[in-house]
Amino acid sequence: MENGEKITIIVAEPWDFKSSLGDNALSGTICDRTVSKYGDAYLLKSDESIDIKSAKVQYMVMMHRNKEISPNSFNVAYIPDDFVPQFHSLDDIMGELIFIIIGSVE
């Protein structure tokens, strides 16, 4: 995935996820990419704010679940707005992320 690329995620978990695209779909734009000890990570800006655990979420971090077996499957975590500028220090801020979605990029 490249910066500026528009993507759609088909959400597997939570099973009751909804957005303006409908059930189990989320769209956004890749804003940045970094490599951490967890592998490749992508900063996604959602096309719309999403209500997750009583918070409005716009930025998310996507990381491969198992790149060798399923290269389009990702864990997606909410990144608090205060930590977005530290995205390239992902190893240092991993504890601030809240994992919210398991999905696949179409």
Q: What is the pTM of this model?
A: 0.92
Which of the 8 DSSP states describes residue 83? G
Q: 33-73: per-residue pLDDT in tens?
A: 999 998 999 999 999 988 776 778 899 999 999 888 989 99
CB 103 within 8 A of CB 75: no
- Closest among 86, 79, 83, 12 to 50, alpha carbons compared: 79
